[in-house]
Amino acid sequence: MGVTVEVVPKKWAGLQVVSFLGTLLFCLYIATISHLDLLPWFDRYNEKRILELLLLLVVTSLFLAVPSCRTQWLSMLGHLPGISKAILFCIVLAGLFSAAGAYFPRFALLEVNLFVLLFAASICVACSRMQLGKVFENMVAITLFLMGWLYLAGFLGYYLTALSWEISLSRPDFWGNFSNIRFFNQLQSWTLSLMVIPLLLFPKRSFLITILFSAVAIGWWLLLFSSNCRGTLVGILFAFPITLLLFRKQARRWLQWQIVAIGGGLATYLLFFSLIPHLMAIEIPTILDRELTQSNARIKLWSMAGKMVQDQPWLGAGPMHFAAQSGDIASHPHNALLQIAAEWGAPVALLVLILFGWGVLAWLKNANPQQHEEDKSLQAALFASLLTAAVHSLFSGIIVMPMSQVMMVIVTGWMIGISAQSRDVEKNHSRLKHLALLLVTPMVFFSTLWPLFPEVRDLEKIQSEFVQSHPELKNLRPRFWQHGDLE
């Protein structure tokens, strides 16, 4: 028996159509942007940022333009606890005040608006999960499966070439369409917990389908071991035991498949990078042969961020403004909390920490032992994904990089949608709420696009001129763009 997959909603009302299209656009972004140069005249990083902005703007516009979708969006927002909405409002308000007093207010406002868009899009994802149910989950599971196979196909091709010609496996081309291997690892922090979801959602499958699903999960762990990423491993070593401790029997099936994937990935890694090269008496240079980020450099960045907090503790230097004084190392401090405290202010960092803790507790409270086995396993997988990425964000720029931000929208929106599914949400909203949303949305869109136009037309030219004028720099320091320094 094969797998029967429901991928289209049964009722094609306006709300379901928009939910399906929005989910499809997110899935296309995840499946294609990490492999293809859709905008070849832009740098790989800049391409992902531009397409991320288009994705957020299009999906949010679709939901807020259709009255029934706008009502659903307001209902999903209303589902959030009052304390959460108050905290979010305070964060945005503090960000606007911080941006107003920043040295580069145009870029500071751009970052505030970007996070507002990310939140709005996560509510859109939650609405899609609410409307489509299993269809949404099947679409995401198939997307993860296809993305994994595309990576594995590229890996096998490059690996065979490396065996034949002794080419280094540390080259960026080996790690997909990313300008830095660590951006790929950030994607893995979000997805390693989720790569076994096809095995959880499709219990009635043939042996061949089981092999295909398992091979993707095993291959994803193989790529992690091959990339020598400590941040993702630290996140996993923290998140997986905590998930098992909190979910216990509810995480059993998820954990069983993860053990298979981890064991298979480690065995395959030893086969590919130890046994086969030894038998062939060749040496293949890998990412293990070089250090991409020195630990003392990260400590220096944290010290710089701490100094910024001391200098301007209440409102920070301004969103994105670590990039204005980052020296010659990086345009962000490789720590999410320090970045927020340094740029938005220490009170905002505290509010974000409270909001995250509140959300985790609400998710655990929402876990129902009476649910179906696959639903319980899915809740454990999503929790592990969020926790892994959160821990990794304390050592990297997970909240900065475009593809990681899109995964953040999908995972958090998915969790909000599942949480709302089990509760009654308000469906009738006053015209005043609709009017306020229709007035605020164009303002957010305009203030997001306005800072981009002075430079996006000549983005690659500006970047090239900067590289030529700074020959001492080995790498650009990405933030919003690949050339992330504010000047």
| pLDDT tens digit sequence for 31-79 | 988 777 888 888 889 999 999 999 999 999 999 998 889 999 999 998 8
Residue 5 placed within a domain: no
Report d(CA 372, CA 360) in Å as an integer. 21
457: left (phi over 0), alpha (psi -120 to 50) or beta: alpha
**Sign of the C-alpha dihedral computed for residues 175, 119, 108 and 440 taken in this order:** positive
Residue 67 placed within a domain: yes
Mean pLDDT of 467-485: 78
Q: Residue 391: which domain range? A: 14-469
Q: What is the pLDDT of residues 272-312, one digit of tens each?
A: 888 888 788 777 655 555 554 456 788 999 999 999 999 99
Structure letter (DSSP) for residue 288: G
Report d(CA 487, CA 471) in Å as an integer. 17
Mean pLDDT lowest for which of 149-158, 298-307, 462-471? 462-471
- What's this model's pTM, rounded to 2 decimal places? 0.93
Residue 451 placed within a domain: yes
CB-count exposure of residue 360 (10 Å: 0-12, 13-18, 19+):
middle
How many C-alpha atoms does 63 have within 13 Å on its Cβ side? 30
> Measuring CA to CA, how many Å separate 200 from each of 203, 416, 419?
6, 20, 19
Residue 474 placed within a domain: no
Average pLDDT, the chain: 87
Residue 422 placed within a domain: yes
Q: What is the pLDDT of residues 240-264, one digit of tens each?
A: 999 999 998 889 999 999 999 999 9
Q: Which pLDDT value is given to residue 2?
A: 56
Report d(CA 263, CA 271) in Å as an integer. 12
Report d(CA 347, CA 351) in Å as an integer. 6
Q: Which pLDDT value is given to residue 230?
A: 86
Number of domains forming the structure of the chain:
1
Mean pLDDT of 386-415: 96
Report d(CA 216, CA 151) in Å as an integer. 9
Q: Of 173 and 321, which is predicted with more confidence?
A: 321
Report d(CA 84, CA 458) in Å as an integer. 40
Mean pLDDT lowest for which of 289-293, 308-312, 377-381, 447-451? 289-293
Residue 37 placed within a domain: yes
Q: Of 10 and 78, which is predicted with more confidence?
A: 78
Residue 317 placed within a domain: yes
CB atoms within 10 A of CB 79: 20
Residue 278 placed within a domain: yes
End-to-end CA distance of the chain: 61
Q: Which pLDDT value is given to residue 293?
A: 46
Structure letter (DSSP) for residue 480: S
Q: What is the pLDDT of residues 190-243, one digit of tens each?
A: 999 999 999 999 888 888 999 999 999 999 999 999 887 889 999 999 999 999
